[in-house]
Amino acid sequence: MYDRSDVLQIRDIHKRFGKVTAVDGVSLSVERGEVVGLLGPNGAGKSTSLSIAVGLLRADSGGVVIGGVGPPEQTSVRAMIGLAPQAIALYDELTALENLDCFGRLYGLDRTKRRAAAAAALDRVGLSERGRHRVKTYSGGMKRRLNLATALLHDPMLILLDEPTAGVDPQSRGSIIDLVRGLKAEGRAVVYTTHYMEEAHRICDRLEIIDHGRVIASGTPDQLIRAHGGASVVTIQTDEGEARFETDDPMAELAMRLRDRHVLGVRIDRPDLESVFLRLTGRSLRD
């Protein structure tokens, strides 16, 4: 039933909270070296699915297997997971090194390994120089990076990043995106949730669009755009006025329509993930 080559396998999970169905049959698999994005409006069931995936919640039915070994409720299996929650899950009054040391101890790392792992994690997110500073003195972007570093400390094979770039400066965002690419290159499996469509398009090999607790579309970003993005919208301004039309082949259409006309301006709006999302859910991602 479960493919042992998949690092994360979620099979037909369901979860209800009272009368509300939060997850209604979500299935998902993530392989080594793959970055899978979860997209969905607020309340779609992404966070609940992630919580079930890491063992924070128990599914009413269905199952999760990590690394082909077992469910995340097993403590040994949880050692394979690195989670960077959406909230900055750090102790402000402790330094970065103290935070990393504390979590390293929970993962059973001995002192030597903890020190080496903490130094490597800080180096990876560009915070080596600030390791001995208390987290409360960090900027938002630095805290985000440290939040990510903490998830990587114990060298996990599955990394779940919940909105890792929310509210960070462009420099930190670039750094985080580079880091995720590096994780992919190392062969780790990454599950990534974000509100930034352009970011999802750049990073993710595959996207799962979730709404009302179900996966309503799945595929690479280009596949999704082709399948659900709709036609390109072309706007032409000429002496005679402005004309708008939809087409699947804007360049051919333009060549035909602009013949023998004095063109003042042309704009082509190609479909993107935002339009995919809007078409599939009827809502903007930020709703």
Nearer to another protein, 75 or 112 (CB): 75
Q: Cβ(67)–Cβ(77) under 8 Å?
A: yes
Q: How far is the CB of 156 from another protein (least distance, A)?
A: 10
Q: How far is the CB of 2 from another protein (least distance, A)?
A: 21
Nearer to another protein, 54 or 215 (CB): 54
Contacting another protein within 126-155 (CB under 8 A): 134, 150
Choices 91-99, 123-131, 137-145, 179-187 (CB under 8 A): range interacting with another protein: 91-99
Nearer to another protein, 163 or 199 (CB): 163
Binder of another protein out of 79, 177, 216, 231 (CB under 8 A): 79
Binder of another protein out of 32, 70, 88, 126 (CB under 8 A): 88
Amino acid at 180: V
Choices 38-46, 48-56, 177-185, 210-218 (CB under 8 A): range interacting with another protein: 48-56
Question: In the chain, what's the furthest Cα-to-Cα distance?
Answer: 77
Counting contacts by CB under 8 A, is residue 93 touching another protein? yes
Place of tokens 């080594």: 32
Q: How far is the CB of 246 from another protein (least distance, A)?
A: 44
Counting contacts by CB under 8 A, is residue 186 touching another protein? no
Choices 60-68, 86-94, 198-206, 235-243 (CB under 8 A): range interacting with another protein: 86-94
Counting contacts by CB under 8 A, is residue 166 touching another protein? no
- From first CA to last CA, the distance across the chain in angstroms is 37
| Exposed / middle / buried, residue 110 (Cβ in 10 Å: 0-12, 13-18, 19+) | exposed
Counting contacts by CB under 8 A, is residue 14 touching another protein? no
Alpha helices in 87-169 (DSSP H): 96-106, 111-124, 140-152
Continuous segment of H or E residues that includes residue 160: strand 158-162
Binder of another protein out of 91, 174, 186, 198 (CB under 8 A): 91
Distance CA 34, CA 191 (A): 8
Choices 77-85, 125-133, 176-184, 206-214 (CB under 8 A): range interacting with another protein: 77-85
Q: Given strand 214-219, what is the order of strands in its sheet?
A: 81-84, 158-162, 189-193, 35-39, 206-211, 214-219
Binder of another protein out of 27, 63, 70, 89 (CB under 8 A): 89
Closest C-alpha among 220, 228, 272, 196 to residue 34: 220
| Phi/psi of residue 234, nearest 5 degrees | -110, 130
Continuous segment of H or E residues that includes residue 241: strand 241-247
Distance CA 126, CA 96 (A): 12
Counting contacts by CB under 8 A, is residue 60 touching another protein? no
Counting contacts by CB under 8 A, is residue 94 touching another protein? yes
Q: Cβ(13)–Cβ(59) under 8 Å?
A: yes
Q: How far is the CB of 82 from another protein (least distance, A)?
A: 9
Q: Which residues of the shown chain bind another protein in the complex (CB under 8 A)? A: 54-58, 75-79, 81, 83, 85-91, 93-94, 98, 102-103, 105-108, 134, 150
